[in-house]
Amino acid sequence: MKETIKITSVLTFVCILCSFLLAFVWAQLQDRVIQNEKDYFQDSLSRLEPDSVKIEELNVSGELIYKLIDNNSRLLGYAFTATGQGYQDKITLLAVIDSKFQNLKGVEVLKSSETPGLGAKIQEENFLSQFKGINVETAVECLKTETKQPNQIKAITSATVSSRAVVRILNQKIEDLRAKLNNQTYE
């Protein structure tokens, strides 16, 4: 009995001490961590739409999207994040689309763990620049050969799965958002 109490109290004491230490560290650093995440989002956003000076959050039937507004308070377009399954793990994308939901202004990868050297190339300019100005009124297509239509992009050689995943995640989200936005206007 005495032994049991000793074991329990030592373990409990160590755990409490450690939680205090962690709470202290987190209290000191949480502002920086949250700020860094915001900065990263902001940086990606301004790479996609350098003219936006104001961002307004907009709730579309439960989906959070961002209205991008320029100096003269004109609507430049919308930004949204999209997450879906990649080759190894989930991929999170940030995309900016024009105000009419017709052309993409660009796509950035916020989070991915695709194969280094192969699938990880979805984060590179060569691949992502293809999405700049692409027409999304019909679903984007991912080809292994050279592209002919304005809604087509070329997959990365030997990383077709990751390339297709990006396109699929994007298409689904755009379709979803478009349907929800239409519903809202008619309501």
Partner 1 sequence: MNNFLKGLWREHPVFRQLLGMCPTLAVTTAAKNGLFMGLAVIFVLTFSSFIVSLIKHVVPNQVRIAVYTVIIATFVTIVDISFKAFVPDMGRALGPYVPLIIVNCIILGRCEAFASKNSMKSSIIDALGMSLGFSWGLFILASIRELLGEGSILGYRLMPGSWNNLIVMILPAGAFIVLGLLVAGMNKIEQVKEKQT
Binding mask 77-116 for partner 1 (x = CB under 8 A): ----------------------------------x-x-xx
- When binding is defined by CB under 8 A, the residue of 2, 32, 100, 148 that contacts partner 1 is 32
Instruction: Report if residue 179 touches partner 1, rule: CB under 8 A.
Output: no
Min dist. Cβ of residue 6 to partner 1 (A): 6
Q: What is the DSSP string of the chain?
A: -HHHHHHHHHHHHHHHHHHHHHHHHHHHHHHHHHHHHHHHHHHHHHHH-TT--EEEEEEETTEEEEEEE-TT--EEEEEEEEEEE-SSSEEEEEEEEETTSSBEEEEEEEE--PPTTTGGGGGSHHHHGGGTT-B-SS--EEESS---STTEEEPPTT-HHHHHHHHHHHHHHHHHHHHHHHHHHH-
Could you say whether residue 47 binds partner 1 (CB under 8 A)? no
Instruction: Provide, rounded to whole angstroms, the least separation between the CB of residue 61 and partner 1.
Output: 31
- Shortest distance, position 54 Cβ to partner 1, whole Å: 24
Residue 146 touches partner 1, criterion: CB under 8 A: no
Binding site for partner 1 (CB under 8 A): 3, 6-7, 10-11, 14-15, 18, 21-22, 25-26, 29, 32-33, 36-37, 39-40, 111, 113, 115-118
